[in-house]
Amino acid sequence: MKQSKAKTAALYGLLIALSFTLSYLEHLLPLPVGIPGVKLGLANLVVVTALYLLGAKKAFPVAVVRILLAGLAFGNAFSLLYSLAGGMLSFFVMLLCRRTKLSPVGVSVAGGVSHNVGQIAVAAAVMRTARIVYYLPVLLGAGLGTGLLIGLIAAPVIRRLKKGNINLHIL
């Protein structure tokens, strides 16, 4: 049975609001790498959860809308570009990784690392210099840390919501 449009809208609203809050938090905690606009990727928590509970088709708009909103609210053209590159690469890498033997923790780690790789690739293109590679080890480490943290938080959330009677997947 299909659920009401109102319920769908409420769920999207909830997820986007949560990721928006996390975007604000990461805006307050810039990565000390000397590349303006590069972010930690905390909002990936919501994307990972949505990916497992709602599936790719429904998680995708959450990821995109979150980035656009946060970009308009806290960022500038550059940081929006980074976030889009990082967010989209991370989304598709997680999508692929979900089909492997990785648990949600591993998928989240892959997402965190690719988020930063996407950002650095755009920075290199904008600056027309490969020298930005200098920051890659720091960004790989940071992506691993954030991804691990997010995965460890998201995994039990996913497990419980799936077991419980909150049938998000039938939306």
Partner 1 sequence: MKKADWILIGSILFVAGVLAAFLYFVPKNGSAVTVEINGKTVDRLPLSEDTTKAYADENGGTNLLVIENGKARITEANCPDKICVHHRAISRSGESIICLPHKLVVTVINEKETDGVDARAG
99 scored as a contact of partner 1 (CB under 8 A): no
Does the protein bind partner 1 through residue 140 (CB under 8 A)?
Answer: yes
Question: Is residue 169 a contact residue for partner 1 (CB under 8 A)?
Answer: no
In whole angstroms, how close is the CB of 167 to partner 1 at the nearest point?
Answer: 26
Check residue 158 for interaction with partner 1 (CB under 8 A).
no
Residue 137 makes contact with partner 1 by CB under 8 A: yes
Between CA 147 and CA 153, with CA 150 as vertex, the angle to 5 degrees is 145
Rounded to the nearest whole angstrom, what is the least distance from the CB of residue 101 to partner 1 in the complex? 4
The 10 Å Cβ neighbour count of residue 1 is 3
Full DSSP string of 69-114: HHHHHH--HHHHHHHHHHHHHHHHHHHHHTTTT--HHHHHHHHHHH
Count, residues near partner 1 per rule CB under 8 A: 32
Asked if 13 interacts with partner 1 (CB under 8 A), we say: no
Query: Does 110 sit near partner 1 (CB under 8 A)?
Result: yes
Q: Which of residues 23-82 bind partner 1 (CB under 8 A)?
A: 34-37, 78
Tell me how many degrees the CA angle 42-21-44 measures, rounded to the nearest 5. Answer: 25
Distance, CA of 38 to CA of 158 (rounded, Å): 28
